[in-house]
Every structure is written in C-alpha cells, then in structure tokens.
C-alpha cells in the first residue's frame, strides 16, 4: 500500500512538472517548445492515411446497383430524388450556416459527411487509440491548464484592481490578461497563425471580427489585449466579469441596458474617445456562424465612429469542429467537445484599418468591412441576418413580402 502511494505521488509530481515547466511557463512568455507542431504534423499524416484507406475501401465495396440489370427500375430510385428535393428546400443558405462544416476527409472524431461510411479493423484500432489519447491524456491535461488559467485570471485581476489608477496598473493588467489567455489557449492545444501583425488593433479603436466560437476571444487575446463588451451574467461567469472589470475598463451591460440602444452607443463612444483605453472587441454578427461564411453585420458598431480594425478568423476543421451550435449544445457540453478534439488550429488575419467614407451610411460601411473580412478568409459573403435562425421573423420582413406579392397581383390585374 505504501509503495502504491509513493508511485501515485511520483506520478503527480511528474504531471505537475510537465504542466508548470514544460507547458505553462513557456506559454506565459509566448514561447513554444515545438511539441505541438510535431503533434500536428503527426496528426496530418494519420488523417491523410485514414482518408486514403476509406476511399480505397469504398471503391472495393460492391455497388448497391451492381446486382440489378442495367436500365431496370426500382421503386427505391425515386427516394433519391425525393430526398434531394427536400434538402434543397430545408437546407437553405441560412440553415446551412448553423450546422457543422462538411469535411473533405474524416478526422476520426465524428462524421459530418455521409461519404465516409467505410470502417476497417485498422481504422477501428486507430479510432480506439485516439479515444484513449484524447480522453485519458489530453483531456485531463487541458482541464488542468484551463483551471489554472481561469483561477490566475480571477486572482490576478482582483489583486491588480486594488492598485490605484496609474500606467503601472494598466501594464500589470495587460500582462495578467495576456498570460492567462495564453495558458487557456494551451489548454485547448491551440496552434494560432497570425498574419499581417502590423495591422493589429490599436488603443482608441474598434476591433470587429467574424464569429465562430466563444473561444474567438481567447484566440485574439493571445496576441493583444482588448476591452470586452457584453451582458453581465451570474454564477462563475459573473465572478470572472466582476474581477476583470476591476483591473481593466471592460464594458459590461445590465440586461435592461442592452435593450437601450442609445445607452449602449453612449458608453461605447465614451470608451473609444479615451485614446489610452484598449480597443473594443465586437462580433457584429451577434451569433456564431459555422466557419464557412460571414453573415450580416449589425450596423450599431459602425455608428459609433472611430477607426475600425477588421480581423478574419478561420479555423482548420480537420482537427476539430470549433463552431458552437448554441441551439444544440450548452456551454459545458461544447467546451467538453473542444477539450476532447485533436487540437484547435486557426489562422488570424489583421486587415488594414478602415474608416467610414464621406456620404457612406453605417449599413454600407458595415457591408464593406464584412466583405473585406470574408474575402480575406475565403468565406462566403452572405447578406442574411444570422438572428433569423433563432428569432421570429420581423414584421417588417413579412410586410415587405406582402407588398411584393400585392404588387404582382395588382400588376396582373392591371395587365388584364
């Protein structure tokens, strides 16, 4: 019994050494030992092998129609066209943006494409080994890092918040935020590639980005500090918000204030007017989109004035599905999926700053910024409001369709 206790203590010491000195400490200084890069390269080789194996096995399987005489009709043939017809109606441009992105190859996690049905013994073994690695090795490690990062964020911001207002306090606040977000990113095995860093958002400006996941904040905050904007929550998230605002001028709103557009605009305008404050981070889509498109930007962020710093975020879907479908998964189950995926690999592009042009209204300015973000990331530029998926259709939209239909009827009657 005593020997087992010594072994357990030794394993715990080795575990904490790996977490503290080989992962957390380099992360705090923005350094990497190269382990994650090697891990990603191995993953790429394994996933490519799995894809080739699936394609080869699918070609070897007999075709469903091979046993039938050529030209012979079967009643089941009609169901294919029936299915395609229903899909074209149900799976419209908006609905497609709220389901997982289709994969070009299977990533040994979940299938999002019906083409990958072939399973062999070797694929099953690899899948089983992957489950063990993801749930028994990576998951405990990621949970440990996430808990350390969040605890450090709360304690660090509370301590910094005690200090009087000064340049030293601002420097310490940015240091605490930056190191904690970097630790949390390592807790997701995040590999982030930043491009055009000379265009990074500056103080007194507004950073706008496409929105795929709640971890977008962690991804961007690894390379610079931002003032967050959002609604005040209760529970653990509320504790984190209250501690953060003591050290940094984040902009949190009560639920009643969020509905008051004038109050929101006034507070954001006052924030960017102070050129010493951190840039505001806003996701104008207002909801998460599935990493394939950029949908309509709410114009409120573009009515405030000041310089807009567009940012494009594009995740690599081969290693994990970063999209948060909030109507299907709650936050806990979503984070569980993230922490049991292979890794989070993402590209971030900083675009040149943009300002509203003479004679341009806020809606056109928002569309111009949205188009630039979509073009940079190779995303579809869609005009639809992402809120249509989860909200009732506005009366104004109904009235617009009614007027259009009535004009057709009047036109037909007039011509007759």
- Per-residue pLDDT of 163-184, as tens digits, reads 888 888 888 888 888 888 988 8
Residue 150 has pLDDT above 70, yes or no: yes
pLDDT tens column, 54-88:
777 666 655 544 444 445 556 665 666 666 665 55
Positive/negative CA dihedral, 371, 374, 376, 378: negative
Q: How far apart are CA 351 and CA 313, in angstroms?
A: 11
| pLDDT recorded at residue 65 | 45
Segment among 31-40, 96-105, 221-230, 322-331 with least mean pLDDT: 96-105
Residue 397 has pLDDT above 80, yes or no: no
| pLDDT recorded at residue 50 | 78
Q: Tokens standing for 92?
A: 């419209």
**Residue 146 CB neighbours (<10 A):** 19
From the list 209, 212, 345, 328, the residue with the least C-alpha distance to 279 is 209
CA distances (Å), origin 121, targets 42, 50, 108, 318: 21, 12, 14, 22
CA-based end-to-end distance of the chain:
97
Compare 69 and 200 and report the one with higher pLDDT: 200
Average pLDDT over residues 122-145: 87
Average pLDDT over residues 82-97: 59
| pLDDT recorded at residue 268 | 84
CA distances (Å), origin 357, targets 39, 159, 308, 323: 47, 44, 12, 34
Compare 61 and 315 and report the one with higher pLDDT: 315
| pLDDT recorded at residue 267 | 81
pLDDT tens column, 297-306:
988 888 888 8
- In three-state form (DSSP H/G/I as H, E/B as E, the rest C), the secondary structure along 116-127 is CCCCCHHHHHHH
Q: Tokens standing for 341?
A: 């995926």
Average pLDDT over residues 11-38: 71
Residue 244 has pLDDT above 70, yes or no: yes
Q: What is the rounded average pLDDT for all residues in the chain? A: 79
Q: How far apart are CA 107 and CA 110, in angstroms?
A: 7
pTM of the predicted model over 0.85: no
pLDDT tens column, 272-300:
888 788 899 999 988 888 888 898 898 88
Residue 128 has pLDDT above 50, yes or no: yes
Compare 136 and 253 and report the one with higher pLDDT: 136
| pLDDT recorded at residue 84 | 62
Q: How far apart are CA 62 and CA 67, in angstroms?
A: 9
DSSP letters, 358-415, are TT--HHHHHHHHHHHHHHHHT-EE--S-GGGGTSPPPHHHHHHHHHHHHHHHHHHHHH
| pLDDT recorded at residue 64 | 45
């Amino acid at each position: 019994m005593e020997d087992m206790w010594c072994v357990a203590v030794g394993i715990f010491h080795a575990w904490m050494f790996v977490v503290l000195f080989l992962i957390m400490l380099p992360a705090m200084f923005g350094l990497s030992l190269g382990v994650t890069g090697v891990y990603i390269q191995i993953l790429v080789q394994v996933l490519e092998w799995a894809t080739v194996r699936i394609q080869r096995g699918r070609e070897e399987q007999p075709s469903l129609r091979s046993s039938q005489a050529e030209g012979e009709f079967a009643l089941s043939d009609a169901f294919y066209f029936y299915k395609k017809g229903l899909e074209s109606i149900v799976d419209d441009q908006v609905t497609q943006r709220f389901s997982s992105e289709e994969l070009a190859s299977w990533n040994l996690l979940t299938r999002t494409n019906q083409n990958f049905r072939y399973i062999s013994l070797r694929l099953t073994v690899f899948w089983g080994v992957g489950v063990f690695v993801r749930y028994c090795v990576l998951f405990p490690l990621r949970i440990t890092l996430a808990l350390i990062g969040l605890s450090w964020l709360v304690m660090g911001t509370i301590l910094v918040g005690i200090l009087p207002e000064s340049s030293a306090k601002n420097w310490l606040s940015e240091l605490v935020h930056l190191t904690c977000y970097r630790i949390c990113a390592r807790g997701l095995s995040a590999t982030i590639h930043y491009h055009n860093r000379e265009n990074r958002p500056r103080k007194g400006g507004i950073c706008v980005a496409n929105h795929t996941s709640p971890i977008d904040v962690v991804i961007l905050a690894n390379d610079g500090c931002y003032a967050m904007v959002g609604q005040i929550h209760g529970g653990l998230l509320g504790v984190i918000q209250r501690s953060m605002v003591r050290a940094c001028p984040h902009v949190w709103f009560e639920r009643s204030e969020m509905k008051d557009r004038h109050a929101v605009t006034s507070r954001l305008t006052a924030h960017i007017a102070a050129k010493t404050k951190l840039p505001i981070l806003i996701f104008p889509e207002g909801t998460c989109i599935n990493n394939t498109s950029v949908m309509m930007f709410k114009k409120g962020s573009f009515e405030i004035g000041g310089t807009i710093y567009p940012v494009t975020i594009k995740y690599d879907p081969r290693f994990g599905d970063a999209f948060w479908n909030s109507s299907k998964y709650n936050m806990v189950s979503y984070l569980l999926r993230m922490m049991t995926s292979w890794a989070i690999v993402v590209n971030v592009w900083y675009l040149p700053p943009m300002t509203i042009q003479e004679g341009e209204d806020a809606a056109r300015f928002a569309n111009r910024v949205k188009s630039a973000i979509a073009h940079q990331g190779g995303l579809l530029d869609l005009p639809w409001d992402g809120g249509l998926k989860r909200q009732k259709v506005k009366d104004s939209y109904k009235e617009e369709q009614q007027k259009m239909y009535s004009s057709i009827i009047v036109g037909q009657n007039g011509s007759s």
